[in-house]
Structures are given as structure tokens and as C-alpha cells.
Amino acid sequence: MSRWGDDPRETQGTAAHYRDYPKVSQRDQKDRTIPQDAEERQVYSERDREYRLNQAEIAVIRDVGRFRIVDAQDLTKIVYKNQQDAAQRDLRHLENQKLIRFVRPLGKERTKYATLTKQGKELVRHRFNQTPGQEIYAGVKKLREANHDAAVYRVYQTEVAKIRAHGCEPQRVRLDYELKRDVQRELARGRQKPGKDLATAREEIAQKYQLKVVENKIQFPDVRVEYEGPEQDLSIGRSGGEVDLEYVSEHYKPGQIAAKRAAGFTLYTENGRSGRSAYGPDLIMDILR
């Protein structure tokens, strides 16, 4: 179960549930307004190149950069509030400027995932990444895992709605790639130190990163969300905390799910409805109880 408990909106009527879902302008105070008119684009320069972007396009490349890969349908629903024409126009414009590219998994021709190009990554890092320590990614790591990786964005949006309902605000996002990289570096250094066995080093490093060892393995969440506000979990500052999220697909074995539970992660799964919701990702994700 989420550390925030059940979302009270889930017990309300359908119309109220839709109204209560955070607006894009609430999602990031820096994106206070999201103009949908292509005429409102501004010019941004990076490495002797100029890019014309509106605020919605900036929100897209920032989200895609933080999560590496995002389903184009989810961008339409979350950033554009299901405004299909505006989403198609802007995504095409970003692609034409070579800031994003789309990939399609084999056998899923109707599904396309957005990822940043190297140009897009540099632009986001230098101009639009205002969260200290936030990693920005470009390219698809493993295409066969694209469906799982893209679902992490929906999991995040679902949990963030609950975080905000408790008066908190999400800050940095840390994907499993980043956590695994940092932990592996420390483990490699730990192996070189005389007099310390691997099991002890593993436990110490896991504690340093607020992770748990289950059955002799450090468990990594799909995404860690750091937040600020009155609610506190694992301390990362004067008033804040973090929550670890995992998307559990049909490919997970019982032992894997048990290990993720033991690690204290909040587990999400698709709720089994046919089709895709038109009103936001929190309608297709459920806590795995």
C-alpha cells in the first residue's frame, strides 16, 4: 500500500475524481501556464542552434528526459489534458527539431514511445533542468523492456497525485539506473578494502542509500521520488522525504514480488481495465495489495 494510504478521491464520484486530478500547472510551479498556441513559442539557443518551444513542449522534454522513455499517449493525457490536436502538433514539432525521437516495439505498431535525442538531452540539462542532482537521459536502454519502463511514468503520476494531496511537492526523480550505478561503484570500491567481507559491505552500502538487502541482494525500485513538505518519511532535508515505487507487470514471479514487498516499496500494477483511460494515469494504476 502507498505510504499515503488509499487515495480519498478513489471513493468519490467519477466526475469529482476527474476534477481533483492535478492540473499540469499544479504539477510544476515553473510551468505555471501551458500555452497551447504554436504562435506562443519562444527561441532558445544551445550550442549555436536555435529551438522554438512553447511551455507544453518544454514540459514534454523535461518529463521525457527524467524518465528516459514515455508513451506518447501518456504525454497527451498528462501534459495536454487529452488535447489530441495540440499534442500531435507539438510532438511532431519536437521531432522535427530533433529534440525527441519515437521508437515502436516489434508487434506494437500502434504504440510509440518518446525519448530524448542527444541534442534534446543537452538542451534540457543546460536550460530546463532546475532540480539539483536530477539526471537527464537520452535514448532507449533496452527496447524489449520499453513497455515496463514507460509504465513507470504512469506509476509516478499516480503517486504524485497522492503526495500533493498531503501537502507535499515532488522534487528529484531517481530511476533504478542511477541507483544501481551509484551502488555498484561503491561495491567495487568496497571489494578493494582489506578486512571487510562482501556481505558486510553490501549491508552498509544499502543502508547508505536507504535500500534493503533481501535474500543477499540489494533491492532497487523502478523509481525513487524525493519530495518536500510537511509529511516525512526517510529524511532528505529539513522537511521532506522519499518514496520508492515499483511497477509490477504480469511477468513478475511471486518471489520477485515478495522481495519488493520486503524492501518496503510501494507496488503498482495495471488494474486490468480494457483500453486506456482518457482522464489520466491514476485511473489505470492500482496499488498491489
Q: Are residues 248 and 122 in the same domain?
A: no
Look at residue 176 in the predicted model and tell me its pLDDT: 96
Summarize pLDDT for 25-45 with one digit per residue, the tens: 344 444 434 545 556 899 999
List, in sequence order, the alpha helices (H) in 226-269: 254-262
Q: Are residues 86 and 9 in the same domain?
A: no
Q: Are residues 246 and 107 in the same domain?
A: no
Summarize pLDDT for 144-161 with one digit per residue, the tens: 889 999 999 999 999 999
Q: Are residues 107 and 226 in the same domain?
A: no
Residue 137: pLDDT band (50, 70, 90) is very high
Summarize pLDDT for 101-111 with one digit per residue, the tens: 999 987 777 88
Residue 130 has pLDDT above 80, yes or no: yes
Is 200 part of a structural domain of the chain?
A: no
Residue 139: pLDDT band (50, 70, 90) is very high
Counting the structural domains of the chain, the total is 2
Q: Are residues 275 and 231 in the same domain?
A: yes
CA distance 34 to 198: 51
Is 184 part of a structural domain of the chain?
A: no
CA distance 76 to 91: 9
3-class DSSP state of 25 = helix
Look at residue 106 in the predicted model and tell me its pLDDT: 77
Q: Are residues 65 and 15 in the same domain?
A: no
What letter would DSSP give residue 221? -
Q: Are residues 41 and 58 in the same domain?
A: yes
Summarize pLDDT for 247-258 with one digit per residue, the tens: 999 889 999 999
Q: Say what angle helices 176-191 and 198-208 make with each other, to 10 degrees.
A: 140
Is 189 part of a structural domain of the chain?
A: no
pTM of the model: 0.80
Look at residue 279 in the predicted model and tell me its pLDDT: 36
Look at residue 4 in the predicted model and tell me its pLDDT: 62
Look at residue 260 in the predicted model and tell me its pLDDT: 96
The domain in which residue 122 lies consists of: 34-140
Cα separations (Å) of 146 from 96, 103, 108, 177, 242? 23, 9, 11, 14, 25
Residue 185 has pLDDT above 90, yes or no: yes
CA distance 146 to 113: 8
Closest by CA to 168, choosing from 222, 221, 232, is: 232
Q: Say what angle helices 55-67 and 146-165 make with each other, to 10 degrees.
A: 110
Around Cβ 283, how many Cβ atoms within 10 Å? 20
Look at residue 3 in the predicted model and tell me its pLDDT: 65
Residue 211: pLDDT band (50, 70, 90) is very high
More confident call, 58 vs 273: 58
| DSSP bridge partners of 116 | 100
Residue 197: pLDDT band (50, 70, 90) is confident
Percent of the chain with pLDDT over 70: 77
